[in-house]
Amino acid sequence: MIQLTEGKLTAKDEKFARLLNWLVWLLPPLVALPVSLVFFVLFLGSVTTEAAAIYLFLSGITLGLGFLTGVAVLIFLLIYRNRWLSRLRDRLAADGITANEIVWFTRELTTAERKTLRETSAQNPLLGDAYRETLAGRITASRIVEKTARELVKVRSRIRRARALTGADTADLINDLESDQLQLERLKAEANARLLEARARLQTIEAAASRSLTQNETASMLRRLSATQEHLPLVIEMERLERETLHEAERQLQKRESSFGSNQD
């Protein structure tokens, strides 16, 4: 269960997200099928061939139209859900992403990060919590870098336009814009440093988790090998006894056959 933080994620947001997920699966079939099913039921209950043909034709037509309508509804719902989730993520990230909010940012994780998060959370909850918290810092830093990069492009464009103006006193404007540019560059450099630190910590946790998983798997394999080796002498002894028993049975059979041949002579 996601822990709610005042002013960020609300119970209403969580309920609406669940509602959108259900609507994506349920609404398109509900739009596409009912009318066609009505005509199909009328087709099954029709008493004349002409009426049956008409109802079957209408059932097929409405099914095709309903399918197209359902696809259109599905596309609309997916676009709306993606935009709503994007706005929600922006709001959650406005004052920094927390570990409990990582569930809303899975799209911004790499495949390797998602895999490591699942494995560490299942095998070692403490490492999983540390990894989740570091991921929150990594995503926050990445978002700051992307946002400052976009703002820097805008500020540099404004500086070029201001310098291109002739016949106007733009010195103060250019100074302000250059100050904004310097501040953004410092913020971007700091965010890049935090991003590198977060990535290094993620690799450290991944190595620790891999080491722990490898040790656990190795210990389990060694236990199975030890158990096998403990039972191996017993298995060999049983196989030897079976072989001796078989040989003894063959000798007894040969003796009986020899005795039977002698008696016949």
- Tell me the pLDDT tens digit for each residue of 177-189: 899 999 999 999 9
How high is the pLDDT of residue 260?
A: 56
Domain region containing 69: 9-95
Residue range 105-133: mean pLDDT, rounded: 86
The share of the chain scoring above pLDDT 70, in percent, equals 81
Q: In this structure, are 60 and 101 located in the same domain? A: no
Q: In this structure, are 168 and 191 located in the same domain? A: yes
Q: In this structure, are 85 and 193 located in the same domain? A: no
Q: Per-residue pLDDT tens for 15-46?
A: 898 998 898 888 888 888 888 888 888 888 87
How high is the pLDDT of residue 229?
A: 44
Q: In this structure, are 212 and 111 located in the same domain? A: yes
The rounded distance, in Å, linking the Cα atoms of 248 and 236 is 18
Q: Is residue 19 part of a domain?
A: yes
pLDDT, mean over the chain: 80
Q: What is the largest CA-CA distance in the chain?
A: 139
Q: In this structure, are 105 and 87 located in the same domain? A: no
The total of structural domains in the chain comes to 2
Q: In this structure, are 126 and 157 located in the same domain? A: yes
Q: Are 27 and 77 in contact (CB under 8 A)?
A: yes
Q: In this structure, are 101 and 75 located in the same domain? A: no
Please give the structure tokens belonging to residue 187.
């913020």
Q: Per-residue pLDDT tens for 191-242?
A: 999 999 989 988 888 887 776 655 555 555 556 545 544 544 554 556 666 6
3-state secondary structure 26-67: HHHHHHHCHHHHHHHHHHHHCCCHHHHHHHHHHHHHHHHHHH
pTM of the model as a whole: 0.66
Q: Is residue 258 part of a domain?
A: no
Q: Per-residue pLDDT tens for 196-208?
A: 998 998 888 888 7
The rounded distance, in Å, linking the Cα atoms of 125 and 116 is 12
Which of 33, 66, 95 corresponds to the end of one domain?
A: 95
The rounded distance, in Å, linking the Cα atoms of 201 and 130 is 9
Q: In this structure, are 60 and 113 located in the same domain? A: no
Q: Per-residue pLDDT tens for 73-107?
A: 899 999 999 999 989 988 888 888 888 889 889 88
How high is the pLDDT of residue 223?
A: 60
Which of 95, 120, 154 corresponds to the end of one domain?
A: 95
Q: Is residue 162 part of a domain?
A: yes
How high is the pLDDT of residue 154?
A: 92
Q: In this structure, are 102 and 182 located in the same domain? A: yes
The rounded distance, in Å, linking the Cα atoms of 18 and 26 is 12
Q: Is residue 218 part of a domain?
A: yes
Q: Is residue 235 part of a domain?
A: no
Q: In this structure, are 170 and 136 located in the same domain? A: yes
* Residues 6 or more apart in contact with residue 27 via CB below 8 angstroms: 73, 74, 77
Q: In this structure, are 73 and 103 located in the same domain? A: no
Q: In this structure, are 106 and 84 located in the same domain? A: no
